[in-house]
A and B are shown apart, each in its own frame.
Chain A
Amino acid sequence: MILVTVGVSNLPFDRLVAAVDGLAAEGETVVAQYGAARTRPQRAVCFDYLPFVELQEWVSKARVVVCHAGIGSVAMCLSTGMHPVVVPRVKRLGESVDGHQLTFGRRLGELGLATVVEDVSELARVVRSVPPHQPRTGLSRELADELLEYIGSVRARREDYESG
């Protein structure tokens, strides 16, 4: 099963949603969450939005997830060990308020954490041969340690002040 998700943005991502039927034409079941899109796929199981838990379930069942380059969708895939195919939203087409998805998507691609597709006509070909699932990614110990130390030091200073 292929899951296509455009996230919770209130901006339409018609370009990706319009490519869904092309994916379904390959014969595999496609589940699509289309958000604010003004077009509807004809050959997919469709939802406008999905509650978090249900989206998580679909992600865990999918062979491939195709998503926008939003942190929520990408983090959900990476936390389950999924290698997502990301299609960044573009400002010029009214899909995003700025170009941050393009930069983020390309960085994910460079790091080998996702496959980036900027031209949706290439989507079906890319989805056919997605890399296998990758090892689970998780919290950076370094950031957590720094934060713990910092908040701990604020607490210690406050307790000193309060007690003396």
Chain B
Amino acid sequence: MILLLVADPGGHLFELAGLRDVWSRFSRAWVTVRASDVDTLLVDERVIFAHGPTRRSLMNLVRNSLLAVGIVRRLRPAVVMTTGAALSVPFAWAGRLFGARVVYIECSGRVGISVTGRLIAPVADRLYVQWPEVVPQVSKARYAGTIFLSRR
């Protein structure tokens, strides 16, 4: 079983990488965009690079949608887990199309739901927000703590 992990570089990747206790237990592959934090956060991980920048680029959305379908067809992940941002949208939909479960974790920097979250919500099997007060505002939303704000 393969777990496909998708995150744009920066805070999104930082948060998903922080969930090491979870993803390290499964066979996995990562999708992100080339940036200086990727080499540091994903040492010895299997990484597939998508087309960036992903925000407000229709061209890259088209390219990444084709890439997403290709990757998902080839790897057949059982679960697609993502923390956003725009890069996750085509991967979540492609995942759903090929029978994967989709887990979306909203960025903790957002006390609410992002555009990415709204676009993924229809295909998300699990949608986590990281602030309890957001739960009533978003259907499907669950709260189970915050990735880095809690004291260890």
Contact = CB atoms under 8 A, between A and B. Distances in A.
A71 interface: yes
Contacts of B103: 147, 150-151
Most A C-beta atoms less than 10 A away, residue of B11, B35, B105, B110: B11
B111 interface: yes
Contact of B148 (A53, A79, A159): A79
Contacts of B12: 71
Contact of A70 (B19, B22, B41, B109): B109
A interface, by DSSP: helix, strand, loop or mixed? helix
A150 B126 contact: yes
Interface residues of A, number: 44
Interface residues of B, number: 46
A136 B142 CA distance: 25
A140 B25 contact: no
Interface string B115-152: 00000000000101001000000000010111111111
10 contacts: A7-B10, A71-B15, A76-B14, A101-B109, A136-B152, A138-B150, A139-B18, A147-B126, A151-B78, A155-B78
Interface of B: 1, 3, 9-12, 14-15, 18-19, 21-22, 25-26, 35-37, 40-41, 53, 78-79, 81, 101, 103, 105, 107-112, 114, 126, 128, 131, 142, 144-152
The 4 lowest CB-CB distance pairs between A and B, nearest first, are A140-B145, A71-B11, A71-B109, A138-B152
